[in-house]
Amino acid sequence: MGKKTYTTTKTTYGTAHQCHTGQKPYFEIGSPDGPEHYILYAGGRNRNGGWWKQPLAELAMGPHETMTSFNASAARENKTVTPEGFSCAEHIPVYEPPLLIELDFPDFGIPALPASFWYALVEDIKTHNLTHISVQCAGGHGRTGVQLCILLCLLDPAYSAKHATAMDVLRDVRATYCDHAVETDAQLQYIADVVGKEVGEGFTSHKQGGGAWGKATIGGGKTNTGTSFDVCECEADLRIPEWDKDGVMYCVTCNGDIIFDDEGDADDWKVAWKGAVTPQPKAKKPSEAKQTGGAKEHLCPCCGTPNVDSITTTNGCVKCGYTHPPKHLQTESKTCAECGLDHPLIEYVDDDDVCITCMARYSDHIKVKGDGVTLSVNCNSCNKYFPIKCIDGYSQSSKHLPNSPVCFTCSSEVEA
């Protein structure tokens, strides 16, 4: 599973993992005692990264919606509390936030910026003697990879000269930072256009997305695109269990299978994850033959189809497959990484870290109405509003906009 070690002009950093976490220094150009010295930090807001992570860089940049998540006061905050009148309070550090650049850079897209912007940016970095630079996006994959490739080439001409094509640059970025860096052909072409290189050959898409917050699709089994990893090697606190259609346990974080030495270890580990003891059976659709007259009808709240059998958390609608959400999704809550407020778990589509209301603020293809018990979400496919319980998840189908909410009815039509 090891990745090759990557060395820039001076300092060697460690090996890349299947996927990144945090906001860490991955590339160093030059040396502290040289004429030019730069350290590039990279990460994704939804993978425990972001410019507000300590230590703060001098310059931070990324797509608009990821840069406005936390304001300057949040970056300054130090949670140390002292009694009133204690002089030690004067010695609590106050962190100065970095300079921020908010890019017009849509998820899966390319920046709405000409090549000249990047060359002028590099001159600004040198003029203002900025050495610690942080780049990020939502998932820390496609858009972060684009920024890394461009800055590496433009800040270090010697590095650029060693790589004939944009694909050669990307291979090094993936080897050091993350295999999912740069997600589309258009993004790689943009890199090539900016740095003045041929695209090169061998590009494979590792499409994860930021709108889906850098997570693999939940509930539909593993999604393997491009290079995949067979075995999960995530640390325990990052390992998120799910089961595919064949009953195989895999990790949502890295998409790798979770393997144990014996069944006892597996059972112990499942219990530790609060209820992930057994695979949840996929909702079953009752036979159409059972839909006969004379029986009490149970109307599906999503598609309105009458069902003879009751719709439960495991017994789905005969037409669209809708199932009632488990009770804990409505009674338990967690804090939104965007607004800092507590919301019921059901308001985090696909077990996201950001509530659907905050998602709608920064994504044109996500629309909501109301709040709390009146919250409804627009299906991107049929353009109708539904209670959030009727939203099947963020679609990964090519028939819909990437990572857009889709109701059970439209989702079942795509699967059919």
Asked if residue 210 lies in contact with residue 141, where contact means CB atoms within 8 angstroms, the answer is yes
Rounded Cα distance between 249 and 256, Å, is 9
Rounded Cα distance between 165 and 148, Å, is 15
Rounded Cα distance between 326 and 309, Å, is 18
pLDDT average, residue stretch 335-347: 85
More confident call, 267 vs 382? 382
The highest-level CATH class for domain 24-195 is alpha beta
pLDDT of 235 = 64
pLDDT of 138 = 85
The model's confidence at residue 317, banded by pLDDT at 50, 70 and 90, is: confident
Q: Where are the domains of the chain?
A: 24-195, 216-280, 281-415
- The CA–CA distances, whole Å, from 283 to 113, 288, 312, 392 equal 46, 15, 9, 12
253, pLDDT greater than 70: no
pLDDT of 295 = 45
pLDDT of 283 = 44
The model's confidence at residue 282, banded by pLDDT at 50, 70 and 90, is: very low
Q: Which range is least confidently modeled, 71-80, 258-267, 285-294, 394-403?
A: 285-294
pLDDT of 3 = 34
Q: Which residue has the tokens 């406005």?
A: 68
pLDDT of 237 = 56
pLDDT of 148 = 98
The model's confidence at residue 259, banded by pLDDT at 50, 70 and 90, is: low
pLDDT of 244 = 56
For 33, other C-beta atoms within 10 Å of its C-beta total 7
pLDDT of 179 = 87
pLDDT in tens, 105-121: 998 899 999 999 999 99
pLDDT of 74 = 54
For 290, other C-beta atoms within 10 Å of its C-beta total 11
